[in-house]
Amino acid sequence: MQHVATDVASGKLGQHAARGLAGDEASTPLLQIKDLQTYFFTREGIVKAVDGANLEVQPGKTLGIVGESGCGKSITAKSILQIVDKPGRVVGGQILYNRREGTGQARTIDLVALPPDSAEMRSIRGGEISMIFQEPMTSFSPVHTVGNQLVEAIRLHRNVDKREATEIASEWLRRVGIPNPAQRMGEFPYRLSGGQCQRAMIAMALATDPKMLIADEPTTALDVTTQAQILNLLQSLQREQGMAMIFITHALGVIAEMADEVAVMYLGRVVERAPVKELFTNPKHPYTQALMTSIPSIDALPRERLPSVKGSIPHPQNKPTGCPFHPRCPAFMPGVCDQKEPQLAVVGANHQASCFLYPGA
């Protein structure tokens, strides 16, 4: 994936990204997140991991979510599926999912309003909305075979018997590139390499025929060659399945290859949102601009240090007043940025940023 950062720096975006920009057909979002608030209630105080995030996912498209570690990307994903670990919970906002019933009629459901253990939420979680986790080795049960876990997931969400589920599981292992799938079905996760385990996790996520896939850092801890293979596999399977995808990463080069639209998160909020090409060629928020300057460029001088974002992200429990980015911002305006929090404002076609540099923020 090293070439990706070079392509971004030189203005060349991946084929998938370019394809996603060919016209903005109006469609009802498959998923809308409105003012989401997910807090952790600890002995030391309240940690506002996600504090007013707003996102949209269009059918068949990929939304990339980027930002430094601790910005709330993974917690946003877990909030969608109601799997936030205690003592965290969703305390406000809406997650509106456009669900198509068996009759073909569409129905909008607020996932926040569903009890996490309700039958409807269980049918959506892992069935209609699947997730690939950061650490596949810890996501699989170590005491059950890979095949047993795939078959269980398939039978839970699809009306098939054990024999059919076994055939589906084996076929999906083959489709994701695992050799000798029948043999791998009988093996335990520890017998698989990191790349194979990640592929098995993708097979489990897609075998239920989801409408949307959440990929949370799906190439973490994998070597560069395996990373490229996994990303190409996800793109290929997305085209085949016609599913929407939320792709979470801190690697901007990967986002350039994978996403149609990008949301930049900082301290639990979306600070900029735009089509991928627009974001890379014309970033508006100072935080996004700082992230862009940290991408390696073929024009950089030998042994020149890459610029980095000034300072470090504050702990969500000690969130600054006003704009959360103002202590690190080169465009900081005293008396403005430290007094009030900006809102997302329109700064271009399908382009929003939350910064007082722009009217309406």
pLDDT tens sequence across 118-168: 999 999 999 999 999 887 777 889 999 999 999 999 999 999 999 999 999
pLDDT higher than 60, residue 1:
no
What average pLDDT does range 277-285 have in this prediction? Answer: 95
Look at residue 103 in the predicted model and tell me its pLDDT: 62
Which CATH code is given to the segment(s) 1-117+210-361?
3.40.50.300
Between strands 62-66 and 244-248, the pairing is parallel
What average pLDDT does range 29-39 have in this prediction? Answer: 96
**What does the DSSP 8-state code read for residue 50?**
E
- For residue 201, CA distances in Å to 126, 178, 327 come to 12, 11, 40
What average pLDDT does range 291-304 have in this prediction? Answer: 75
Q: How far apart are the first and last CA of the chain?
A: 36
Q: With 0.85 as the threshold, say if the pTM is over it.
A: yes
Q: What is the DSSP string of 86-102?
A: TTEEEEEEEEEEEEEPT
Listed by start position, the domains of the chain span 1-117+210-361, 137-209
- Rounded Cα distance, 286 and 308, in Å: 13
pLDDT higher than 90, residue 295:
no
pLDDT higher than 50, residue 22:
no
39-50 confidence digits (pLDDT tens): 999 998 899 999
pLDDT higher than 80, residue 239:
yes
Average pLDDT, the chain: 87
| pLDDT confidence band for 106 (50 / 70 / 90) | confident
Look at residue 105 in the predicted model and tell me its pLDDT: 76
Look at residue 9 in the predicted model and tell me its pLDDT: 41
State whether the Cα torsion 183-184-185-186 is positive or negative.
positive
Among the residue ranges 54-63, 200-209, 220-229, 343-352, the one predicted with the least confidence is 220-229
